[in-house]
Amino acid sequence: MIRLRAGSATDVGLVRNNNQDSLLVADPLFAVADGMGGAAAGEVASTTAIESLESAFDAAGHATPETLIEAARSANRAVWEQAESNPEMRGMGTTLVAVAMLEDGRLGAINIGDSRLYVLREGSLRQITSDHNLVAELVAEGRISKEEAEVHPRRNIMTRALGVDPDVPVDLFVEDPVAGDRFLLCSDGLPRELRDDHIASLLNRLADPGEAAKELVEEAKRRGGNDNITVVVVDVEDPEKETAAVAVTPAPPPEPSGRAAAAEAAVSAPLPQPKARIVTLRVAAFFVLLLAIIAAAAVGIGWYARSGYYVGLRGDKITIFQGQPGGVLWLHPTIADATHTTTSDVLPHQVPRLRAGQTEPSLEAARQFISRLVAEAQAARAAAAPPPAAPPPAPTTTTQPAPPITAPPST
Ligand code: MN
């Protein structure tokens, strides 16, 4: 014969203004809910979910997997109806994870959302529930790694929540409990700060469930406390074998019975889940749209980057470029016409303008611009040259006697 002993702790954390998590410790039923919604709506959602779960489970009169699922569905309905009838609570929702001792001696668990149920068995920690959020699904599909998931910008997007639709698919898990097992229910504020091995070592170190719950919450706060943190620790005990075990050191649970083959029947019996798919499709549609926008932007930027011409410099060579001066992002301008004109063919005060890049609407306009600069320089030189023609061409500049100039026929 086994019995359960539980401890719990909850905290607003260090960043949020209010605690929207709720918890339930009512042997044989234990639960954690993490509400979301503006103002007080998140708290209302999680409290309502927990209260309706408990009353529906009690009212059922039997503790079976079916009554547990039904209790979760009626909790969903209760939150949904409240959101429907109160405009200021529209859109509120909550996660719900719960575990209950069933009448056949097994433990049943249900889950909706991204709160979690773990079991610590013989010292090692295993997550029983799957998170109903986008990155967990990407990990499950092998699209991203667990490490990438931890820092993924969209790790908060849930794909299933309680109270946002009139009905919700409920994940069910059934476990054969073994004395020494320790079940952990928590809101995402805990795994957000602590890795699984960290959680495991704390659970292994602290024998008392209340102390363990409190320490987990404190440690999550020390590591950032970015969200509300709620923890319920449920220990499975065998009173007959207890006396010896408890008196000894609070080390990793001793395993008195050699029940190696304690049929680890973590049977997941997911019900038909049309709603989850719809939500997932919505998320997929969102990403398709997002990709389309990004692609359109890329095409637009590419077009802009390639549009127009400008006259600039490569070294001292005056060159016509296609594109935008300086380039756009990684798109560099390309050479449209490498003329033979150099900075010495134009007036010195025009050089900075060329260095900056003189934008022109077309290739032809760019060529005409260069011709004008060259003509301007030639006119200036002609004016400066002394008309009396004794020693013939005596250029005032020290450059070599101007070579036959440029592509455009100098006028
Ligand atoms: Mn949370």
Residues 6+ apart with CB under 8 A from 272: 169
The rounded Cα 156 to chain-centroid distance in angstroms is 6
Rounded-to-integer distance, Cα 118 and Cα 223, Å: 20
Distance (angstroms) between ligand 1 centre and the Cα of 114 equals 8
Distance (angstroms) between ligand 1 centre and the Cα of 384 equals 81
Distance (angstroms) between ligand 1 centre and the Cα of 362 equals 58
Distance (angstroms) between ligand 1 centre and the Cα of 228 equals 6
pLDDT tens digit at each of 411 positions of the chain: 899 999 999 999 999 999 999 999 999 999 999 999 887 899 999 999 999 999 999 999 999 999 999 999 999 999 999 999 999 999 999 999 999 999 999 999 999 999 999 999 999 999 999 999 999 889 988 999 988 887 888 877 889 999 999 999 999 999 999 999 999 999 999 999 999 999 999 999 999 999 999 999 999 999 999 999 999 999 999 988 755 444 444 444 444 443 333 333 333 334 433 344 455 667 777 777 888 877 777 777 767 777 788 888 888 888 888 888 877 776 778 888 888 888 889 888 888 888 888 888 888 888 888 888 888 888 888 888 765 554 555 454 444 444 544 455 444
Place of tokens 């719809």: 278
What is the pTM assigned to this prediction?
0.60
Rounded-to-integer distance, Cα 141 and Cα 327, Å: 40
Distance (angstroms) between ligand 1 centre and the Cα of 187 equals 6
Distance (angstroms) between ligand 1 centre and the Cα of 224 equals 13
3-242 is a CATH 3.60.40.10 domain: yes
The rounded Cα 10 to chain-centroid distance in angstroms is 25
Residues 6+ apart with CB under 8 A from 31: 23, 24, 50, 53, 54, 96, 97, 98, 99, 185, 232
Residues 6+ apart with CB under 8 A from 23: 8, 10, 31, 32, 33, 50, 185, 230, 232
Distance (angstroms) between ligand 1 centre and the Cα of 332 equals 46
DSSP assigned state of 155: T
Distance (angstroms) between ligand 1 centre and the Cα of 60 equals 30
Rounded-to-integer distance, Cα 231 and Cα 30, Å: 11
User: Six-digit token pair at 182?
Assistant: 């320790």
- ∠ Cα 23 24 28 (to 5°): 150
Residues 6+ apart with CB under 8 A from 1: 238, 239, 240
Distance (angstroms) between ligand 1 centre and the Cα of 313 equals 58
Distance (angstroms) between ligand 1 centre and the Cα of 206 equals 24
Distance (angstroms) between ligand 1 centre and the Cα of 299 equals 39
Domain boundaries, the chain: 3-242, 309-384
